[in-house]
Structure 1
Amino acid sequence: MKGSSHLGIGIAVGAIAGYITQPDFMTVAICAGIGGASGVAPDLDTNGLATNRITLSKKVSKVLMEVAGIGILLMLIYQVMTQGMSREIYIYGGIGLVLLIVSRVITQRRMLTITGVLVMLLGFVLDKSIGILLAGSYITFASFLPHRSYTHSLIGVAFYALILKYLYIEWPIEGMMAAGLAGYISHLVADMKMLPVNRRGVKWFAPLWKQVF
């Protein structure tokens, strides 16, 4: 199923969860947003809608790395010509070369890894926010997983529930847990083989039981 479909379903179930929790416009609107974001979260294990929305732009990042790498090397060449060699030149020269090499080989998946690490760093900055730290670790782990593996299982549901729990402790928003879980689980249900648009299905109990549903 396409990411836009998962987004729409997530928004719908999130709004319903919000209405059940507190039938007012603000709660329903916030929960719809939480449900929509949660509805595409399992697909962070592939280059889909969720990944492309939160990941640092690969093209922009490559340009920035190339400019920084070339800039460092040019500055070092100027320093060698005017001041001679020093120990620091080798260190900064190595950094410049690494930036140039990484800019040529980096993939969108590794940009997702970097995004996850940055989110975890944000968690440390915000008084060691456990919710944000867990969210960053989820993004980082997902960037290394094959599509429809652990993020599309009960392990993924449990991990996401843990994220929501700590986010709710830090930012108590009415209906957050219900909308988030409803959105996440809706993704797995929508990917099941019982729907004719799906061929691969979902391994709900992986890695203990690899039966596809």
Structure 2
Amino acid sequence: MKGSSHAIIGVTVGAIAGYQVQPDPYTAVVSSLVGGVSALVPDLDTNGVASNRITISKELGRWLMHLAGIGILMAITYQYFTIGYTPSILLYGGIGLLFFIISRFITQRRMLTLTGIMVMWLGFVMQQSIGILLAGSYIVIASFLSHRSYTHSLLGLVFYGFILNQLQQEWEIYGLLVAGIAGYASHLIADMKVLPMNRRGVKWFSPIWNKEW
């Protein structure tokens, strides 16, 4: 199923679930957004709508790394001719060279990994938010998984629910937990093999049982 279809289903079930918790228009709107986003989260394990929306392109990533590497090399060259040689020149020179080397091998999946690391760093900055730290760790883990593996299972759903629970405690947003779980679960249900449009199914009980449903 396409990402847009997952999002539409997620918006619908998210709004309904959130409205059950707090029956007012504001909660329904917030819950619909949470449900729509959550319905795309399982596909962070592939280069789909979700992963491409939260990361910059690998081409832009390479350009930024080249720019950073050039900037560092220019800075240490200036330092060498104005101040003279210092041990830090070798250190920063190595960092600049590392940027060039990494840029040669960067892929869109690794851009997603870097995005997850940045989210985790944001969690440290924002008063060490456990919810954001966990969200970043989810993104990092998903960037190394094959499609329709652990993110498309009860294990992924439980982990995502734990993240939402932490965020709800920190942000006090009514309906966040139930709308997010409903949106995430709607993705797994919509990807099941029992539906005629799906060639592959969902391994609900992976890694304990890898049968597709």
Regarding TM over 0.5, the answer is: yes
**Aligned with 1:206: secondary structure?**
coil
Quote the Cα distance in structure 2 between the aligned partners of 1:74 and 1:131: 39
Q: Give unpaired runs (5+ residues) of structure 2.
A: none
Report the counterpart of residue 176 of structure 1 in structure 2: 176
How many angstroms apart in 2 are the aligned matches of 1:84 and 1:155?
56
User: Runs ≥4 in structure 1, deviation > 6 angstroms?
Assistant: none
SS in 1 for 2:39: helix
Deviates more, 1:162-171 or 1:63-72: 63-72
Aligned residue pairs, count: 213
Aligned to 2:63: 63
Look up the SS of the partner of 2:155 in the other structure. Answer: helix
SS, match of residue 132 in structure 1:
helix
Distance in 2 separating the partners of 1:74 and 1:127: 35
Q: Give the Cα separation in 2 of the matches to 1:114 and 1:11.
A: 28
The one-character-per-residue Cα deviations of 1:13-39 (angstroms, maximum 9, x if unpaired) are 001112222222111100000000100
C-alpha distance in 1 between matches for 2:125 and 2:12: 34
SS in 2 for 1:200: coil
Between the aligned partners of 1:131 and 1:82, the Cα distance in structure 2 is: 47
Q: Shift in Å at residue 84 of structure 1?
A: 4.6
**2:93 counterpart letter in structure 1:** G
User: Whole-Å Cα distance in 1 between the matches of residues 86 and 75 of structure 2?
Assistant: 13
Normalised by the size of structure 1, how large is the TM-score?
A: 0.95
Closer, same or farther: CA 186–83 of 1 in aligned 2, 3 Å: same
Letter in 2 for 1:124: F
RMSD of aligned residue pairs (Cα, Å) = 1.4
Amino acid at match of 2:45: D
1:117 Cα offset (Å): 0.9
Q: Distance in 2 between matches of 1:118 and 1:72?
A: 21
- If the length of structure 2 is used for normalisation, what is the TM-score? 0.95
Q: Measure how far apart 1:197 and its partner are.
A: 1.3
Counterpart amino acid of residue 49 in structure 2: L
Correspondence for 1:44: 44
Counterparts in 2 of 1:206 and 1:80: CA distance versus 1, 3 Å: same
AA aligned to 2:186 is S
Aligned partners of 2:121 and 2:28: how far apart in 1? 31
CA–CA distance in structure 2, aligned partners of residues 9 and 23 of structure 1: 20
Distance (Å, rounded) in 2 between the aligned partners of 1:35 and 1:7: 8
User: Match of 1:16?
Assistant: 16
Structure 2 partner of 1:91: 91
